[in-house]
Amino acid sequence: MLRRIKGVRYLSSKYFPNEPTSPVVKTASVPGPKSKQINQELGQVYDNKATYFVTDYFNSYGNYISDADGNKLLDVFCQISSIPLGYNNPKLIEAAKSDEMIDAIVNRPALACFPSTNYAQILKDGLLAAAPPGMNKIWTSLCGSDANETAYKAAFMYQHSKIRGNKPFSEEELSSVMNNKAPGASEMTILSFEKGFHGRTFGSLSTTRSKAIHKLDIPAFDWPVAPFPKLQYPLEEFEQENRQEEQRCLNKLEEIIENAPKQIAALIVEPVQSEGGDNHASSEFFQGIRDITKKHNVLFIVDEVQTGVGASGKFWAHEHWNLTSPPDMVTFSKKFQAAGFYYSNPDLQPKDAYRQFNTWCGDPSKAILAKAIYQVIKQDGLVSKTANVGDYLYSGLQQLVNKSDKLKNLRGKNFGTFIAFDCVNADVRNKLLADCRLNGLNVGGCGESGVRLRPTLLFEQKHADLFLNILEKVL
């Protein structure tokens, strides 16, 4: 369908000289027979109900994921958006084989008590070198949910210590907290948005509002929720309606904060609500949130677990907003392999030890990988390359969406490869995803009927062409 622009040099070939030139599908179904058999064995000891197919990671390479049957699929889902530089990237293998890595793996430290001599340097050369503008401190944790959960704890402790001033904890606080009661146990809340997804541990799950199935049967905090704009597409046609919709949501947000029966310690929002359906909002909307949170002393947490690390065409998606002042905390995980949150205000660090704490407090081996990932991204200019290939991909998709009666609501213009569209209904979407796999393309869904693209940062024009051709064929 689309032609490759002549003279393009492919960086992915530098890392993956033997990357397949197109997908290979050998079986009549994906998952194929071997995949099904292994998955059935797995199912006897492990919950395998969400398995797409069983993967052969040894033979996955670059932008291609290999399954147990030897099929090689172009992967634009990438372990739920968490493979930054392709499978078996030689630079990451090099980092994995280093003495520094061996030390980090076989002597895993309890970081808060026995930090390693090189942890500060590992952070400075990697995770902190990549810190969002205005942020120079970090707390490391174990996964995206934990990153958010520790940010919430920082917010609660910060807000209470502001109220308490320099006074010590009261006797009443010390005794009531042992019964999970106020005033020792906080009655403050975290506000999140309808359709937001922030993880599945207890605290983070209470702020997750994507789908009921994510939350059912799990005890939850009674925390406030605000509406997130439902934009209409194409954006150029619905400018006024969308502006009004965003203003409606901002007005409602301020009303909720002003009338909250309990103090809202922090608000959390994703730059693009990913699991909830790839719902976008404008920079003005996010600036509006920043203004409201400042005015009402609510901490502003940006959840960049899925949007962070280059895919949006900026290193951090919230850099697209040009905020007048940075968020209070930015959480990360996925593509960085390591997890945690960035901040700058030292008061977000509790004054006493053992409050923001667990055994590992992160994982130096993942921080070493994050360093290698950051260095490749920086050295190869992968963020701007992703912005360019994203533009190319978007315009190709625009043509497909325009002529298809099955697709609508293309979104993610000027937002790197962080692109999504909807199908006319969930059945069409589910069939489309299955047919794509059978045609050698591994792509993920989100929300009710959305299809989201989450390729690597080494996904280039030749991969975009393959993607578009397969999608057109499947349609």
Site for ligand PLP, rule CB under 6 A: 80, 143-145, 148, 197-199, 270, 274-275, 303, 305-306, 333
Taking Cα atoms as reference points, which of 301, 294, 298 lies closest to residue 330? 301
Closest residue to ligand PLP, based on beta-carbon distance: 144
Smallest gap from Cβ 240 to ligand PLP, in A, equals 30
Question: Does 202 qualify as catalytic in the annotation?
Answer: no
Smallest gap from Cβ 199 to ligand PLP, in A, equals 4
User: In which order are the strands placed within the sheet that holds 225-226?
Assistant: 137-141, 339-343, 329-332, 299-303, 264-269, 189-193, 225-226
Smallest gap from Cβ 32 to ligand PLP, in A, equals 27
CB 273 within 8 A of CB 197: yes
User: Catalytic pick from 193, 197, 228, 459?
Assistant: 197
Q: Which is nearer to ligand PLP, 369 or 471 (by Cβ)?
A: 369
User: Catalytic pick from 69, 75, 125, 303?
Assistant: 303
Question: Does 197 qualify as catalytic in the annotation?
Answer: yes
Smallest gap from Cβ 434 to ligand PLP, in A, equals 22
CB 423 within 8 A of CB 317: no
Smallest gap from Cβ 205 to ligand PLP, in A, equals 10
Q: Which is nearer to ligand PLP, 272 or 397 (by Cβ)?
A: 272
Question: Does 462 qualify as catalytic in the annotation?
Answer: no
Q: What value, to the nearest 5°, has the Cα angle with vertex 251 and ends 247 and 257?
A: 145
Q: What value, to the nearest 5°, has the Cα angle with vertex 231 and ends 227 and 235?
A: 155
**Residue type (1 letter), 246:** E
Q: Which is nearer to ligand PLP, 32 or 277 (by Cβ)?
A: 277
- In whole angstroms, what separates CA 46 from the centre of its chain? 25
CA dihedral in degrees (211, 214, 216, 220; nearest 10)?
A: -100
User: Catalytic pick from 359, 403, 427, 431?
Assistant: 359
User: Catalytic pick from 72, 195, 334, 462?
Assistant: 334
Q: Which is nearer to ligand PLP, 204 or 449 (by Cβ)?
A: 204
Q: Which is nearer to ligand PLP, 77 or 285 (by Cβ)?
A: 77
Q: Which is nearer to ligand PLP, 27 or 207 (by Cβ)?
A: 207
Smallest gap from Cβ 305 to ligand PLP, in A, equals 4
Q: Mind telling me the catalytic residues?
A: 197, 303, 334, 359
